[in-house]
Chains A and B, each alone.
Chain A
């Protein structure tokens, strides 16, 4: 199998009665409902108690032309009975809904894997669009895989015939038919999906019934068709997990919930300013539905207005939050500097995507690290936190809120397209288990001898937060350099020197309040440390685990606080002979580590818009230790 278990490696084939992990990829036209199929399969898998990870891969175009190679949308899921931390490498099963989906996805399929293809879509027109000269289902070119080709379109039309739908509508039920087949293959319960379909089509019971019929027909097809060989029923044993209540969660959901939880823990209303952008919009969509938690959402006229309104709200005493992706963050840069200068709390979420410029809107990358850490005019230090998984994004969002209000600073929270869209099982946390960090506003003057001192710093270098509306504390703030304590305009040389130093010292001091960096797998000393940040956690963890099974001296260190860095990180990394930094950019964190600790960190870079595979990382580890 492509994925690896905690205790022992196990090469199974898809025909095994109970493989430990299986990777399934659904691919079709972006209009075929592939993301929906994948999403619902994810849910049913989670409900069956399998650990899982998903990776949606969809085109940038909303509705790319049907049947074309660039219109292919895919959804990959890795589930199995051991701890799963990535969406897997090569799929074991590929469900190809048309020739284009086959062409773009079959190269990734494991040798010996299973192709399920809808012959109804392998017509002359679609083959031409996919640039096939001969039908690949018939010319033997798929010989290294098992092939299961039948007319899913016709079978679906037959199944939904009693409901009298039009041809187009009837064919839309194809994805449910396919899902039914997949559920049978992996022994999944249909009932949650039937309930979901009833809810989704509550206003159109005929559509609900048709989709349920298609789902049942696909399931029955697997069960009753006398298909020998590849389509043997697969059963994946449920993963043992920590007791508790679970749900599936995507990174975007986790960020939204974490922000709400963070604002609640700070005992503040939250103001969220956003502007539509892929892949960050989902956070705004989610928060709109959480207004009972004191959330105000504002869809601004542009990215700049979104952050400026959030800063305005922070100034007025709420927790200002804004979110975007790289290009939008670039537009927010000047305002982020103002939040640094005025020392107002703010959380800026960046769901990174491939860049520069518009780049790859729907693909993942980690190339905004420099932008987050350094990307502003002037010396404008700002804490940066990176989430490593959908579930971790919840914790990181709370952490970002906490640092923002406790240190009166903007904080960047980095996720990426992979974390945002991927889903994984999440043990629902008990809100009471988080320590509240209630905010205290200054209500009375901090200067008995005269007017209020809005920039009088405490022992951590943090200024008070003063809300307009507070009697007697009227004062002015702004982006111009300010006098010590008073905040009055003052850009004399000594003052600018002192304030620049004070702003830097304050952010450096955030590190003092952070937990020490730990090694997440392996010893605290050895030949090689693989240092990651963000969504590379899963593949790095698995690759290090594999390498350790082979007896290699390698440890995995994963950094959440990418700025300021944990105080012990430099000393920790110096305990290793070599440091390897895999990241989905051209080596940005590697440069930060070299700069901060003068260590010979080596880069391992990838910018294809796809996450690292375990195999790639494993090879790099072996090479580093060769």
Chain B
């Protein structure tokens, strides 16, 4: 986010005239709407908003938002975004990437944009598959994923995007999913975080990895399988009948039953977005034995890259003036006089 004055827009103002060309039923439609809902909520200004993407299904996103947009090359969106933001820190920069774009070919740039803490929102659409190239397994595909390049099931161990982000030094890590009504709330928090805000969004690829996330995104199982992380609130799920507590013997989280709503008695932990250790445990919980942690998992800002660059520059140029003639004649010089051929020292 930037510090510009909020302006009033509606969802319609953020729709471009371009025909949206994702497959019918793709989770990307829902994410696009969630973003177009979020932008008016945060008072974003279309003229100061830039969506930057790499390559992949998700990376077509900028074409559909009525703002400035740059569809770049595979995996490199964080680097382009860095140039945009350093050139004009007043711009609101959103990155759109996917599991292949952001975790595989562009993993290096994802790491460095997080470590530097460039002020931007990074939405990683995780569908656990390469969709645009027709269904190969991706760096987040689960072991055993059948695909054209893994006919008897993939053998690679998957990467965990949120754990990767924390490991890279991210100061904001959140999770949501395409059809979640709470996705705009997560995106608002990401926008309001000054610095690199990493949001993993589980997204259903209707064609190549259909219903991959149904075991926690479907209404009938959501209560039992989602724990929403909200700062200062207990980590409860299953309509408050279960919670996450710290197992002091193993220094890990455990699921505990909550009787009659007395979560304190059950030892349920209270979420603290500034607790990095807790964030690590929440993003690494194996799904099945544990619910899926969603919402703002970690949010602890520190100075942004571009503000540090600006401050560094101010320090470097203190007392200097931009005099080109002086710069060109820097160092030891000598003058050749018109009549004499002999050089004189300066």
B88 touches A469 (CB 8 A): yes
Q: Which single member of B48, B70, B79 contacts A300 (CB below 8 Å)?
A: B79
Closest to B317 in A: A292
Q: Are A312 and B81 in contact (CB under 8 A)?
A: yes
Selected from B80, B316, B329, B345, the residue in CB contact (under 8 A) with A308 is B80
**Given contacts A291-B316, A338-B73, A478-B71, are A315 and B83 in contact (CB under 8 A)?**
yes
Chain A residue at minimum C-beta to C-beta distance from B68: A468
Give the total of A residues in contact with B, Cβ under 8 Å: 81
Q: A257-B327, A292-B317 are in contact. Are A474 and B83 (CB under 8 A)?
A: no
**Is A515 part of the contact surface with B, judged by Cβ < 8 Å?**
no
Across-interface contacts of A480 in B (CB, < 8 A): 71
Q: Could you say which of B22-30, B186-194, B246-254, B318-326 contacts chain A?
A: B318-326
Whether A247 and B80, one on each chain, are in contact in the complex, defined by CB atoms closer than 8 angstroms, is no
Q: Is the CB of A308 within 8 A of B112?
A: no
Interface string of B325-346 (1 = CB under 8 A from A): 1011111111111100111110
Beta-carbon contacts under 8 Å, A281-304 to B: 288-294, 296, 298, 300-302, 304
| B46 with A474: CB separation less than 8 A | yes
1/0 per residue A466-510: CB within 8 Å of B?
Answer: 011111111111111000000011000000000000000000000
Q: Which among B59-67, B158-166, B220-228, B256-264 touches the partner chain?
A: B59-67
Contacts of B241 in A (CB 8 A): none
Measured in the bound complex, the distance between the Cα atoms of B78 and A472 in whole Å is 26
CB of A305 within 8 A of CB of B82, answer yes
Smallest CB separation, A470 vs chain B (Å): 6
Task: Assess whether B16 is in contact with A313, with CB atoms less than 8 Å apart.
Answer: no
Check A478 against B341 for contact (C-beta < 8 Å).
no
Q: Which residues in window 81-113 of B have CB below 8 A to A?
A: 81-88, 90-91, 108-109, 111-112
B177 CB to closest chain A CB (Å) equals 26
Residues of B within 8 A of A293 (CB): 322, 324, 327
> Is A451 interfacial (CB 8 A cutoff)?
yes
Q: Is the CB of B73 within 8 A of A313?
A: no
- Known A271-B86, A477-B69; judge A471-B47 contact (CB<8 A): yes
B18 touches A488 (CB 8 A): yes
B309 at the interface (CB under 8 A from A): yes
Contacts of B82 in A (CB 8 A): 298, 300, 305, 308-309, 312
B29 to chain A, nearest CB (A): 18
Q: Are B336 and A47 in contact (CB under 8 A)?
A: no
- Structural contact, B338 and A316, CB atoms closer than 8 A: no
B76–A308 touching, CB < 8 Å: yes
Take A469-B48, A474-B47 as given contacts and tell me if A305 and B76 are in contact as well, using a CB distance cutoff of 8 Å. yes
Q: Which of A318-333 contact B (CB under 8 A)?
A: 318, 320
Interface: B122 (CB within 8 A): no
Give the contact stretch, choosing among A171-179, A426-434, A581-589, A598-606: A426-434
Which residues of B sit under 8 angstroms from A241, Cβ to Cβ? Answer: 336, 341, 343
Q: Which of A246, A288, A451 has the most CB of B within 10 A?
A: A246
- Nearest CB of A to B94, in Å: 12
A239 within 8 A of B: yes
| B116 closest partner in A (C-beta) | A301
Q: Within the complex, which residue of B71, B320, B328, B333 is in contact with A429, where a contact is CB–CB below 8 Å?
A: B328
- Asked whether A317 is an interface residue with its Cβ less than 8 Å from the other chain, the reply is yes
Contact of B324 among A264, A288, A311 (CB under 8 A): A264
Pairwise interchain contact A468-B50, C-beta atoms closer than 8 A: yes
Residues of A within 8 A of B86 (CB): 271, 296, 298, 309, 313
8 A Cβ contacts from A11-35 to B? none
Q: What is the total number of residues of chain B having a CB less than 8 Å from a CB of chain A?
A: 63
Q: For the complex, what is the distance from the CA of A294 to the CA of B71, rounded to whole Å? A: 27
Q: Is the Cβ of A472 less than 8 Å from the Cβ of B47?
A: yes
Whether A468 and B329, one on each chain, are in contact in the complex, defined by CB atoms closer than 8 angstroms, is: no
Of A192, A240, A292, A304, the contact of B76 (CB 8 Å cutoff): A304
Q: A302-B108, A428-B328 are in contact. Are A311 and B80 (CB under 8 A)?
A: yes
Bound CA span A381–B220, Å: 57
Are the CB atoms of B73 and A479 closer together than 8 Å?
yes
Asked whether B72 is an interface residue with its Cβ less than 8 Å from the other chain, the reply is yes
Q: How far is the CB of A12 from chain B (nearest CB, A)?
A: 19
**B341, A240: Cβ atoms under 8 Å?**
yes
**With contacts A242-B336, A308-B73, A313-B84 known, is A291 near B317, CB below 8 A?**
yes
Q: Does B328 contact A478, Cβ atoms closer than 8 Å?
A: no
A257 to B323, CA, bound (A): 12
**Chain A residues with Cβ under 8 A from B47's Cβ?**
468-474
Q: Are B341 and A316 neighbours in the complex by a CB distance under 8 Å?
A: no
Contact assessment for B48 and A468 in the assembled complex, using a CB-CB cutoff below 8 Å:
yes
Assess whether B84 is in contact with A312, with CB atoms less than 8 Å apart: yes
Q: Report whether B335 and A257 are in contact in the complex, using a CB–CB cutoff of 8 Å.
A: no
Q: CB-CB < 8 A to B330: which residues of A?
A: 247
Does chain B have a CB within 8 A of A243?
A: yes
**Given A304-B79, A308-B79, A320-B83, are A476 and B324 neighbors across the interface (CB < 8 Å)?**
no
Contacts of A314 in B (CB 8 A): 83
Say which residue of A290, A316, A451 sits within 8 Å of B327 (CB atoms).
A290
B343 near A315: Cβ-Cβ < 8 Å: no
Is A334 at the interface (CB under 8 A from chain B)? yes
Are A301 and B325 CB-contacts (below 8 A) given A46-B334, A478-B71?
Answer: no
* A476 in contact with B79 (CB, 8 Å): no
Q: Given the complex, which residues of A lie within 8 Å of B108, measured CB to CB?
A: 301-302, 305
Please measure, in the bound complex, the distance between the C-alpha atom of A196 and the C-alpha atom of B332, giving whole angstroms. Answer: 10
Contact of B71 with A476 in the complex, beta carbons under 8 Å? yes
Name which residue of chain B comes closest to A293, CB basis: B322
Q: Are B73 and A296 in contact (CB under 8 A)?
A: no
Q: Which residue of B lies closest to A307 (CB)?
A: B79
Alpha-carbon distance A260/B322, docked complex (angstroms): 10
A290 to B85, CA, bound (A): 20
Most buried by B among A318, A467, A474: A474
Residue of B nearest to A470 (CB): B47
Nearest A residue to B4 by beta-carbon distance?
A469
A312 in complex: contacting residue of B17, B79, B344, CB < 8 Å: B79
A 384-431 contacts with B by CB, 8 A: 428-431
For A47, list chain B residues within 8 Å (CB).
Answer: 332, 334, 343, 345
**A261 touches B (CB below 8 Å):** yes
Nearest-neighbour CB distance to chain B for A194, whole angstroms, equals: 13
Q: CB of A48 within 8 A of chain B?
A: yes
> Are A489 and B18 in contact, CB atoms less than 8 angstroms apart?
yes
In this complex, what residue of A is CB-closest to B16? Answer: A476
Q: Are A271 and B88 also in contact (CB < 8 A) when A49-B334, A292-B317, A474-B66 are?
A: no
Residues in A neighbouring B73, C-beta threshold 8 A: 308, 334-335, 338, 479
In whole angstroms, what is the CA distance A314 to B87 when docked? 8
B322: chain A residues at CB < 8 Å are 264, 292-294
Q: Are the CB atoms of A312 and B71 closer together than 8 Å?
A: no
Smallest Cβ distance from B17 to chain A, in angstroms?
7
Complexed CA–CA distance, A465 and B327 (Å): 30
Nearest residue (CB) in A for B344 is: A49
Closest 9 CB pairs of A and B: A49-B343, A312-B83, A478-B71, A240-B341, A308-B79, A309-B83, A316-B87, A476-B69, A305-B79
Between A and B, 13 residue pairs with Cβ closer than 8 Å are A47-B332, A192-B332, A240-B341, A248-B331, A271-B83, A273-B83, A292-B322, A296-B309, A298-B309, A306-B79, A315-B84, A472-B47, A477-B71
Binding site for A on B (CB under 8 A): 16-18, 46-48, 50, 52, 55, 62-63, 66-73, 76, 78-88, 90-91, 108-109, 111-112, 309, 313, 316-317, 320-322, 324-325, 327-338, 341-345
Interface of A with B (CB < 8 Å)? 43, 46-50, 189, 191-192, 196, 238-248, 257, 260-261, 264, 269, 271, 273, 288-294, 296, 298, 300-302, 304-306, 308-318, 320, 334-335, 338, 342, 428-432, 451, 467-480, 488-489
With A474-B67, A489-B63 already in contact, 14 other A-B pairs whose C-beta atoms are closer than 8 Å? A241-B341, A248-B331, A264-B322, A288-B316, A292-B320, A292-B321, A301-B109, A304-B79, A309-B83, A316-B84, A316-B88, A335-B73, A472-B47, A477-B70
